[in-house]
Structure 1
Amino acid sequence: MAHPRSLIAPLGRLATSSIAAARSEVPRIAALPYQTIRCATTKAQPKKKKKTRNTFLQYDLKQADQFSLIDAMQYIRAFEVGRNPSSSKYEMHVRLRTLKNGPVVRNRLRLPHPVKTDIRICVIAAPDSKAATEARAAGATLVGEDEIFNQIKEGIVEFDRCICHIDSLQKMNKAGLGRVLGPKGLMPSTKTGTVVTQVGTSVRNMVGGSEYRERLGVVRMAIGQLGFTPDEMQRNIKAFMEALKKDMAQLSDRIGKEIHEVVLSSTNAPGFTLSGEFRGPNSIAPKELSGPL
């Protein structure tokens, strides 16, 4: 009879062989490769600063159409046909070669033929003083101190220009009128030349006077009414250009300002670059440009 241990060994081999066969039948799954994706990074480049001009851009006038004074007035009047002649004015635009951050030209001029004659002028001076008497004689509409101060504080501003005699300057400053007159551009100050010693002369210069100021390299001013003749316009333009050149000459030598272009327009008409000539070869007679439209 066989020993029991002799039967255990074959059974053990059978069990292990069946397990190995079962394991071999199970399919193996290949491991998928793993890849790390990195985004490429670049160092931020500093932005290049745009080059800015320190002067205003000017155009070459050689390619621009230029007109004589009579021709420009003829075309402008054609644009104003049907308009109210009392509400439209000739306007001058003088473009300058100048620095953007430089000083500006600003002044007041009494033209040979005033554009506006119904200006209302207020004079701050002692009512019984000599300055008040001169102001009334020169055509000022309001003259005084306390009465005017009270009206202004109440918001009643019935004047177009305001000047102050130097003896009344301290009293005017104590009245605190800057809150009302400042935003309107009517507050007298030594900087704007509206604090004066000769009241009569200042009032006469203001009556019929016109103000001009440089903005963005262009000086603008009303130069005439639509009913003005070419001769009257020529005299006004000449006076304005002479005053403007004088103002530019008084600036520092380091601040150069030159006239680049002179344009004539009106309230409702486009601008026409002037050539500097009074009349062209094909211009109409000057008498045809005077009177109503």
Structure 2
Amino acid sequence: MNTLQPSCRAVTSASTTSIPIFRAQLPIRTFSSSTILSAQKVQSASAKAAAQKAKQKRKKKKHVVYKMPNMNDLTQYTLCDAIQYIKAFEVGHSPSIPKYDLAIRLKTKKDGPVLRNQIKLPYSVKTDIRVCVLADPNSKAGKQAKEAGAALVGLEDVFEQVKNGKIDFDRCITTPENLPQIGKAGLPRILGPRGLMPSVKLGTVTDNVSTSVKNLLGGSTYRERQGVIRMAVGQLGFTAEQVRDNVKAFITQVKKEGNAMAEAQNFYKEVYEVVLSSTHSPGFSLNGEFRRADSVPTQQLAVA
């Protein structure tokens, strides 16, 4: 046993002296993880900055007001010249079917209140309007409605017709006391999307049923959509003077409502362009004049 001890010590001694030699040969670490993290942070910051820049660019491109055409690039016409060209496009069509349509382009912001109303033009465009009055036929309002020329007067029976999809009228009037019953019957969700639901703002919820029916029988409704108001202002058989009077009345009311909105809500709407067209013709931008000195005589324009 004693002969083995020196060799064991030698092995032990060799083992203990070899450990530091092995460790000394390990490669030295020459990189830092903090450098990678810093690079990642820089890349992340750059990406955020680029995204923010793109967002601001998109925001700048977004128009606050509706885009308006450059009027200097447009050819504009007198009313009589526009009528003459429109009639050329309507050759062969019945004079009572095509309509003169007026589009009033407004300079206005995209987000905000819109103009919506009804008007009785000097010369009625649509003569076959059917007015419905939601009231008891035996009540005072019901009797006034019949005398004024309403095509349909009733409550429960009309409710059932509407629910069954039979809506045989173009305008609808009621009195304030009948509104709860109309709402309970679920008519707003049916008539509302069709623009037929009686409204206090439009004057179709009223105690003066007789006057409202008479106004609607010769009246037209309009509503601003995307900065433009469109409405029929005449039949093809109208004289140039009749079209002129209707156009003037329509524009005058729109301007009046725009001014009232500016005063009440501090929201401005300005008439920017007026375009006349018909059922089968393109639009003609009007310059505000009735006719030129060498325009076709208005008597000839009256011939459909």
TM-score scaled to structure 1, two decimals?
0.82
Would you say 1:73 and 2:79 are equivalent positions? no
Equivalent of residue 231 in structure 1, options 241, 266, 271: 241
Letter in 1 for 2:174: C
Structure 1 residue runs of 4+, over 6 Å off? none
1:93 to 99, 103, 106: 103
CA distance in 1, matches of 2:269, 2:194: 29
SS at match of 1:119: coil
Q: Which residues of 2 match residues 242-257 of structure 1 at below 5 A?
A: 242-253=252-263, 254-257=266-269
Give the corresponding residue for 2:274: 262
SS at match of 1:84: coil
In the TM superposition, residue 185 of structure 1 has moved relative to its aligned partner by 2.2
**In structure 2, do the counterparts of structure 1 residues 139 and 93 end up closer, same or farther at CA, with 3 Å as the change threshold?**
same
Q: Deviations over 1:28-54 (max 9, x none)?
A: xxxxxxxxxxxx995433251211110
In the comparison of the two structures, how many residue pairs are matched? 254
1:274 matched to 2:286? The reply is: yes
Which piece of structure 1 moves more, 56-65 or 118-127? Answer: 56-65
Give the distance between the partners of 1:195 and 1:143, measured in 2 at CA: 15
> Could you tell me how far 1:194 is from its partner in structure 2?
2.0
CA deviation after TM superposition for structure 1 residue 179, in Å? 3.6
TM-superposed CA distance for 1:191, in Å, is: 4.1
Q: Return the TM-score normalized by structure 2.
A: 0.79
Q: Secondary structure at the match of 2:200?
A: coil
CA distance in 2, matches of 1:276, 1:182: 36
Letter in structure 1 aligned against 2:147: A
User: Where do 5+ consecutive residues of structure 2 fail to align?
Assistant: 1-38
| Higher Rg | 1
Identity %: 50
Inter-partner Cα distance in structure 1 for 2:183 and 2:147: 26
Question: In the alignment, which residue of structure 2 is the partner of 1:213?
Answer: 223
Which residue identity lines up with residue 48 of structure 1 in the other structure? Answer: A
Cα offsets for 1:113-156 (capped at 9, x unmatched)? 00001001100112211111111111100111122122222222
Give the corresponding residue for 1:20: none
In structure 1, list runs of 5 or more residues that go unmatched. Answer: 1-39
- State how far apart, in whole Å, the 2-side matches of 1:221 and 1:117 are: 15
Q: Tell me the equivalent position of 1:35.
A: none
Structure 1 or 2: more helix by fraction: 2
After superposition, the CA RMSD in angstroms is 1.8
CA–CA distance in 1 between the matches of 2:270 and 2:195?
28
1:56-81 deviations in Å (ceiling 9; x for gaps): 11122123211111100000000111
Between the aligned partners of 1:125 and 1:214, the Cα distance in structure 2 is 30
